[in-house]
Amino acid sequence: MSDDGIQGKVALVTGAAQGIGAAVARSLAELGATIAAVDQNAEGVSRLVDELVRDGYRATAFPVDVSQRVAVDETVEQIEHQLGPVGILVNVAGVLRMGQADTLRDSDWTETFAVNTNGVFYISRAVVKHMIPRKSGSIITVGSNAGAVPRMYMAAYAASKAASAMFTKCLGLEVACHHIRCNVVSPGSTETEMQRSLWSDENGAQAAIDGSPNAYKVGIPLQRLADPADIADAVVFLASDKSRHITMHDLRIDGGATLGV
């Protein structure tokens, strides 16, 4: 298989301890990237790295909370020094706080934005400063289809994802002259721990597929949840030379749940 410009590059993946982040890290590693796996879950990210190394891939764990600016800056410098120049950044780290907007706690709002929006800003800023002089790089932010279509009880999450998506597009416009591409991948319902936390019983997956008229939520036309690998495949495409003329794009991967919006 062609590496499509991924082999030999350092790929920094946040939220790498589980779910989509872990799938992205593995997919990039299999194509020859050196993985800088970032997650505040030290045990989880170390376990992922151990698995990758055992399978013959290059990966190092960096336990850090992306909402902490100083720690982010220090970690990016450490990665650049220890592993080499970061050529690919994938922002996956995210949290979900559910609640009706009029009763949502201040802490739920601020904590959601601290990770989902501030975290994307902090680590993208730290990485792109190194990419600009090298005139090369690809940044992919994993957003959500909830950033484009309103969802009940998800005001904080949806707003934070919309903000990080627009930040990524604005960044892409600013750094296009340096041959750095910035894109967004927006999953819908995906088989992850975050998705399962929304389920009230064992029929949660089917309920997500069917949709909910009472919540004004369309179901999934393709009649299945996404697998983390589905999202990882899209990230790999946008990180590779196959997408060399694509930037500031938002690729929706939701089985048609947002009806092409």
Cβ atoms < 10 Å from Cβ of 153:
16
Per-residue pLDDT, averaged over 50-72, amounts to 98
Q: Is 2's pLDDT higher than 60? A: no
pLDDT, residue 196, reads: 66
Report, as residue numbers or ranges, the catalytic residues: 157
pLDDT in tens, 10-58: 999 999 999 999 999 999 999 999 999 999 999 999 999 999 999 999 9
Q: What is the pTM of this model?
A: 0.94
Sign of the torsion angle spanned by Cα atoms 242, 4, 16, 197: positive
- Residue 56 Ramachandran class (φ > 0 left, ψ -120 to 50 alpha, else beta): left
pLDDT in tens, 81-92: 999 999 999 999
Confidence of residue 206 (pLDDT cuts 50, 70, 90): confident
Confidence of residue 142 (pLDDT cuts 50, 70, 90): very high
Per-residue pLDDT, averaged over 196-223, amounts to 82
What dotted CATH number matches 10-188+226-252?
3.40.50.720
DSSP state of 114: I
Per-residue pLDDT, averaged over 98-125, amounts to 97
Domain boundaries, the chain: 10-188+226-252
Cβ atoms < 10 Å from Cβ of 253:
18
- Residue 260 Ramachandran class (φ > 0 left, ψ -120 to 50 alpha, else beta): left
Q: Is 158's pLDDT higher than 80? A: yes
The candidate with the shortest Cα–Cα distance to 65, out of 96, 38, 92, is 38
Q: Is 198's pLDDT higher than 80? A: no
Which residues make Cβ contacts (< 8 Å) with residue 247, sequence separation at least 6? Answer: 172, 176, 181, 182, 183
Per-residue pLDDT, averaged over 127-131, amounts to 98
SS3 35: strand
pLDDT, residue 1, reads: 43
Mean pLDDT, the chain, as a whole number? 94
Which residues make Cβ contacts (< 8 Å) with residue 27, sequence separation at least 6? Answer: 229, 232, 233, 235, 236
Cβ atoms < 10 Å from Cβ of 15:
28
* DSSP-assigned states of every residue in 141-191: EE--GGGTS--TTBHHHHHHHHHHHHHHHHHHHHHGGGTEEEEEEEE-SBS
The candidate with the shortest Cα–Cα distance to 97, out of 122, 115, 75, is 115
**Would you give the distance in Å from CA 88 to the centre of its chain?**
12
